[in-house]
Structure 1
Amino acid sequence: MLTVTPGIVLLLRGLTIYVGPTILLIAATKQLASTRDISLPTWFLVIVGLLAIPAYSVVRIATSEFKLKRDAAAMGCQLVPRIRGKKLANIDILWRLLESWEADYPGEAILDIVKEMGPVIDMHVLYDSSIFTICPEHIKIILATDFNNYVKGENFSHSMADVLGTGVFNSDGDMWKFHRSMTRPFFSRDRISHYELFDRHADIAILKIKERMRSGFAIDFQDLMGRFTLDSATEFLFGSCVHSLSGRLPYPHNASFVSEPSLSANSHIPEEFAHAFLHAQEVISKRERAGWTWPLAEIFRNATEEPMKVVNAFVEPIIKDAIEKRRIAKAQELTEEVKNANEVGENDTLLDHLAKQTSDPVVLKDETLNIMLAGRDTTAATLTFIIYFLSMYPEVTTRLRREILDKVGSTRRPTYDDIRDMKYLRAVINETLRLYPVVPFNIRSTVHATTWPAVNPSEKPYYIPAQTKVPYSVFLMHRRKDLWGPDAEEFDPDRFLDERLQKYLIHNSFIFLPFNAGPRICLGQQFAYNEMSFMVIRLLQNFSSLSLDLDAQPPSSKPDPAWANSSGRKAVEKFWPRTNLTMYSLGGLWVRMNEAPESAE
């Protein structure tokens, strides 16, 4: 039985677009010949048919270019500077970007183009305009001041739908509003301060670190934080922790054989889920980078199908239980006072709350997976990068630990007010998010034609056509020296505390967007700050110093030695930052930690 894959759909659509003109041209040629009593040989009609597609393409491109210039002139605008590649349809530019994505530092190929052409560029790959920007003025328009004119768009939603469905991160308009309104009430102050929940899982994580350090091996902190945030997220979302922290932790590639007790079959389920969810994210991330051509790589199979079987097998029974639980509760309410579906019960999980709004299992699954992506992967990545920087900059660790011990002490659990008052901790987190925002690249599509201010204020504004992709990068914007100062690529938390705060950030708040902005600003922002702050405090209460174990890092995941000849952060990094939908450290982050005297047994 033939499976209709995305690639087959794209090919059929292409045939529909291009076969029509071919048939029409052949028919018109035959008709013209017959009126003049000319007999045309079959080979001539075949040539006419073969020429029809390129001729039609040339006409379409020329017509589109003429219309673009005419519309820009009518609005008194200039066109965005366009890349001129060396090959047809800028295919060399596309190849360069894809190759760099896999083999170089994040955004490096784009940065080279930006240095040459400026911070706003029309990539124009495969004759498809894609207007890329790292200007805060433009990003502010996209996310806030002209929000309704910039949507995820049909193409983006299609490429992400197999994993994210119609969830809040993959929807527009009324569907987006519906998901947003369902979720918003759950992120109140009492809900974002789940310190008992954090503490239970943090205690297990810290115990795992101590056990590993005492055995003499480094620990993959990224893997550990993935487990910590997965356990926290599943308990927060579903009320049922998957206990991934109880599973076997990986050992360094160079470790000799370590004998450990065998685990039950069920102990592998959380790891299988986490790996499958990551694999599915990698697939849809590659789809978006490939643009409209991505289905061609999936002609024979849908690449998300296998990993999503694992994800669905994990999530769907939980969704089913939540719907049944709500059905029973609703039946009981018929004999009692009916409760407001928008109210969040004291013991409600997020899924319980969502089940009050809808009993559609697809909607519930889509939304919980969207929130899990936001609440698990992003927090785990940022905690990993924080520990990386603390390992790289011991003076920052010493100062931060001093603030923690002064405010909280060496054993007490921090409170909401403790975390709020710890200015240097917040600065360390913000500086980490500035250099490594967890969603480094993003994209929208225009609904209607519009304009952007030119980089040079004395020039005409840029013309932005309707139905045009507008990718942007907060990763590259956060490192612009004209926005953040000459030390923009240095890790320095004090920039969020000293005169630079007033000079740069307060002067233009849209130069710092780790959690998005405008109507789509992350609802879980404060939840993430609280979870990250709590974990960092607990770690530095228990460990006095941290260091990277570069020998434990898998050789294939180490930065290319040639990076040392570059400039900025690329030249000094000791790990390889990579990106799918969110950022992560290739090969994990292998660290060693020294127990603080108070916590050592």
Structure 2
Amino acid sequence: MNPTVLLSTAVAVASAAYAFKPKKKTELEAKSVAVPAPKSYLPLQLDTVVAYIYDMLMGKDELEMLLKDMKQYGNTINFKGLNNDFIVVTDPSSIQHILAKNQPNYEKGPYFKGIFHDFLGSGIFNADGDTWKAQRQIARPHFQTSEFKDAALINKHVDQLLVVIDKHIASKPDAPLEVQNLYCRFTLDEASEFLFGATVDALKNEQTEFSTAFNYAQSLTAWRFRIPYWKYILPRRKLMTEIKKLDDFVYKIIDDARERQAARAQEKTKDENEENSRHDNLLDHFLSQQNEEGFDNKYLRDMLLNFLLAGRDTTASLLSWTTWKLVQHPKVMEKLHQEILQVIGPDRVPGYDDIKKLKYQKQVINEVLRLCPPVPINPRESVEEDVLPNGYYVPAGVAVAYCVYATHRLPELWGEDALEFDPDRWGPERVGKIRPFMFVPFHAGPRICLGQNLAYTTAQLALTRLLQRYDIKASPGFEPQQLGDIVMFSRNGVEVLISHKRPQSEI
């Protein structure tokens, strides 16, 4: 993708497509305050649009760019482009208003759904109204059961993660290890088994067809948010080729699950407990809940890929940034290791009940989620015109995004040390100062993340076993390049030096 061609095409298409349209203010708008907007000096805000796209192509950090703009324009900003509004809010009262108090007025909306439709179809994260409610209602019991609480499935994939790390140490003991890619493969395997009942085996084979296609689909979809008139500019043929690879894999999984279901229906002797024990993945759970009309394969495909996107990337992001923060703060890592030794021991494989006793570890993870939220910005679209609690006017049918990355870093909320990594702010003496909607890494309100408990459990089990087994240190000279995509990753990965811990008897 040539940056010059892409940029010039975007500008040409945008310039040709738009014209000025005078608009009469509504009564509510006349009584409200317009959201501040960065200054623009060209028609259709072409200068700001071009500057933004250029900065993205050059690899600049758009989240830090947002923080810089906030210092000038405040905590609510309208990033106008081509006469379209894109309002970003960061204050907790506005986030609460959007996610809870007036939640029906802020939907995913047709623009958001259009961007994601090729990839995610009409799945739960790309749906509104009755479609969203029905999928969430069916999925919720699977995430609320104790199926994953014995940690067997998670530990199974952690075992494979450790095998890959051991091989690296054996073959390249002095070379840094890029763990972000490793965590993505680990969580892809774990999430695919939890959802499908079949693992992708990404840890065993780094470049599986499924994982490569999944990464490409996500990357190109993220660019659709950034490029005006993306339908006419960004390539779709390649995207659809990669999505077909995802479909081929998922549809086979669905066909196999239907065959299993049919075979069970023919069994003569089967008690209720045995039947319930077999619903050990989300796909089987959905099939067991379907009505007489059933779910078609496209419905199931969309549902599975939606949950896979959330389940894989968010937990991989959390593990990646936790590892980075720990190597930057070795005293925190040592305190965390000592807690693990006291509660679990140097080598015992922990279970679900064990990690719930790791209070300091939970503080560390919450502090990582504060500074490095896996989903840094989340867009909605207003159904009707509205006024935010801070008095700013929101027109009907415009994009309104809440940016938790910025909210989690506001000094007026978190203190003058808001940018510092300090797990003690989550300790019993200070945690009471954290008010509702100050901390929303898993969102809030009716659409709060169903899988947050699973994410915490996966991250804590993996982190516990990594610190039991390895010494992890910073790789000299390495700095991650933050990428505010759909999920927040590092553009250049996360490199660390890793080695086996010495046995306790030798220390």
Query: What is the TM-score of this pair, normalised by structure 1?
Result: 0.76
- Classify 1:106/1:396 alpha carbon distance in 2 versus 1 (closer, same or farther; 3 Å): farther
Match of 2:188 in 1: 230
Which residue pairs with 1:591 in the alignment?
A: 496
Partner residue, 1:67 = 25
1:577 CA displacement: 1.5
Letter in 2 for 1:403: E
Preserved CA contact (<8 Å) 1:101 1:107? no
Deviations 1:440-473 (A, max 9, x none): 011001111111122xxxxxx2221211210121
Residue 528 of structure 1: aligned partner: 455
Aligned twin of 1:239? 197
Q: Which moved more, 1:178-187 or 1:202-211?
A: 202-211
Q: Secondary structure at the match of 2:430?
A: helix
**1:290 aligned onto 2:245:** no
Q: Distance in 2 between matches of 1:303 and 1:135?
A: 40
Report deviation, 1:204. 2.0
**Radius of gyration: which is bigger?**
1
Of the structure 1 ranges 229-238 and 385-394, higher mean CA displacement relative to structure 2 is found in 229-238
Match of 2:89 in 1: 133
Q: How far apart in 1 are the matches of 2:350 and 2:158?
A: 12
Q: Is the 8 A contact 1:152 1:172 kept in 2?
A: yes
Structure 1 residue 126 displacement after superposition: 0.8
- Counterpart AA for 2:198: S
For residues 117-156 of structure 1, the aligned pairs below 5 Å read 117-156=73-112
Deviations 1:120-139 (A, max 9, x none): 12222111122211111111
Change (3 A) 1:530 1:302: same
Do structure 1's residue 93 and structure 2's residue 51 form an aligned pair?
no
Following superposition, the deviation at residue 197 of structure 1 comes to 1.2
Aligned twin of 1:355: 287
Distance 1:528 1:580 in 2: 19
**Number of the residue aligned with 1:329:** 264
Q: Distance in 1 between matches of 2:179 and 2:264?
A: 41
With over 3 angstroms needed to count, the CA separation of the structure-2 counterparts of 1:500 and 1:105, relative to structure 1, is: farther
Please state how far the C-alpha of 1:582 moved relative to its aligned partner. 0.5
Deviations along 1:369-396, one digit per CA (max 9) or x if unpaired, are 0111111111111111111111111101
Pair 1:316–1:462, CA change in 2 (3 A): same
- Aligned equivalents of 1:367 and 1:344: distance in 2? 21
The structure 2 residue matched to 1:482, chosen from 412, 423, 433, is 412
Residues 83 and 123 in structure 1, CA contact (< 8 A), matched pair in contact too: yes
Partners of 2:200 and 2:504 lie apart in 1 by: 28
Q: Distance in 1 between matches of 2:55 and 2:147?
A: 41
Q: 1:425 corresponds to which residue?
A: 361
Residues 84/324 of structure 1: CA separation in 2 closer, same or farther (3 Å cut):
same
Amino acid at match of 1:548: A
1:185-584 equivalence runs, <5 A? 185-215=141-171, 216=173, 217-247=175-205, 268=207, 271-291=208-228, 293-298=229-234, 301-330=236-265, 332=266, 344-356=276-288, 357=290, 358-454=294-390, 461-497=391-427, 499-503=429-433, 505=434, 508-543=435-470, 545-550=471-476, 574-584=479-489
| 1:77 paired residue among 32, 49, 58 | 32
Matched AA of 2:337 = R
What secondary structure sits across from 2:379 in the alignment? strand
Displacement over 6 Å in runs of 4+: 335-340
Give the aligned residue type for 1:537: T
Seen in structure 2, the aligned counterparts of structure 1 residues 105 and 344 have a Cα distance that, compared at 3 Å, is: farther
Could you list the per-position Cα deviations for residues 514-556 of structure 1 after superposition, in whole angstroms to 9, with x for gaps in the alignment?
Answer: 101001000010011011000011011112x3123246x6xxx
SS in 2 for 1:67: coil
Change (3 A) 1:491 1:452: same
Aligned partners of 1:97 and 1:109 also within 8 Å: no
How far apart in 1 are the matches of 2:316 and 2:184? 5
Q: Is the 8 A contact 1:390 1:397 kept in 2?
A: yes
Contact 1:283 1:303 in 2 (8 A): no
CA RMSD of aligned residues (A): 2.6
Give the direction of change, closer, same or farther, for the CA distance of 1:345–1:105 in structure 2 (3 Å limit). Answer: same
Task: Kindly state the Cα deviation for residue 170 of structure 1 after the two structures are TM-superposed.
Answer: 0.2
- Secondary structure at the aligned position of 1:359 is classed as coil
Distance 1:126 1:303, change over 3 A: farther
Higher RCO (C-alpha 8 Å, min separation 6): 2
Q: Is the 8 A contact 1:138 1:453 kept in 2?
A: yes
Matched-pair contact (CA < 8 Å) for 1:281–1:580:
no
Q: Percent identity?
A: 36
Work out whether residues 447 and 467 of structure 1, in 8 Å CA contact, stay in contact via their aligned partners in 2.
Answer: yes
CA contact (8 A) 2:327 2:473 kept: yes
Taking structure 2 as the reference length, the TM-score comes to: 0.90
User: For residues 114 and 123 of structure 2, what CA distance do their matches in structure 1 show?
Assistant: 12
Aligned residues of 2:279 and 2:285 also touching (Cα < 8 A): no
Deviations 1:474-495 (A, max 9, x none): 0111111111111111111111
Contact 2:56 2:62 in 1 (8 A): yes
- Relative to 1, partners in 2 of residues 1:339 and 1:446: Cα closer, same or farther, differing over 3 Å? farther
Q: CA separation of 1:466/1:588 partners in 2, compared to 1, >3 Å: closer, same or farther?
A: same
Match of 2:128 in 1: 172
